[in-house]
Amino acid sequence: MAAPEIDRLIQVLSRLPGLGPRSARRAALSLIKRKESALLPLIDALQSAADHVRTCSICGNLDGTDPCGICRDERRDGAILCVVADVADLWALERTAAYKGHYHVLGGVLSALDGIGPEQLNLGSLFRRIEAGGVKEVVLALGATVDGQTTAHFLSDRLQPFGVTVSRLAHGVPVGGELDYLDDGTLIQALQARQSV
């Protein structure tokens, strides 16, 4: 249909999460039409990410340096370790600016369906970090999904021998949520974990 260069660009773009074939066509066209203001800056941004971004050897975060900025930040509290499934979850927590401890990125959650077992996750380095001492509390910030909660149970079992406090994020009514629209599971959790006012 179009030039092979355009077809290939559409094909590569359509593999990005959130872009289907139609939006990949729109994106490709918009890039080609705005070569100076969109296409070349995107090449530049991708190249610089490819050249500089690396995985932190301590926590598994992505950053321009190894160890990452969070692991090197001495104002952060090394006694609390927040375990997240993915770098995107770490970013979400960082956006809140409400957490000032360290992180550990698992790189996924246990999933029987996807064939992800403990050996596929970044667990060895987590246990080594806790063994090395200094960590008093581990916060399991995993999704409230079946796989996320399975992983949280597995981890709290495995963390028992280390004698650290293990906590998890609170479950309940999301801020702005209306009771009428909430699922039963969330309402049950919110009732059971009710707090005195």
Question: Applying CB under 8 A, which residues contact a copy of itself?
Answer: 1-6, 8-9, 11-13, 15-19, 23, 25-33, 35, 38-43, 45-53, 62-65, 69, 86-88, 91, 94-95
Which C-beta is closer to a copy of itself: that of 22 or that of 165?
Answer: 22
Amino acid at 140: L
Neighbouring residues of 70: CB distance < 8 A, sequence distance ≥ 6: 56, 59, 61, 63, 76, 94, 102, 103
| Minimum CB distance to a copy of itself, residue 157 (Å) | 28
| Pairing mode, strands 62-63 and 54-55 | antiparallel
Residue 85 CB, shortest distance to a copy of itself, in Å, is: 12
* Closer residue to a copy of itself (CB): 29 or 166: 29
The strand ranges marked E within the chain are 54-55, 62-63, 77-84, 101-105, 137-140, 165-168
Nearer to a copy of itself, 89 or 159 (CB): 89
Minimal distance in Å, beta carbon 51 to a copy of itself? 8
Phi-psi region of 172 (alpha: psi -120 to 50; beta: other; left: phi over 0): left
Instruction: Tell me how far, at minimum, the Cβ of 10 lies from a copy of itself, in Å.
Output: 9
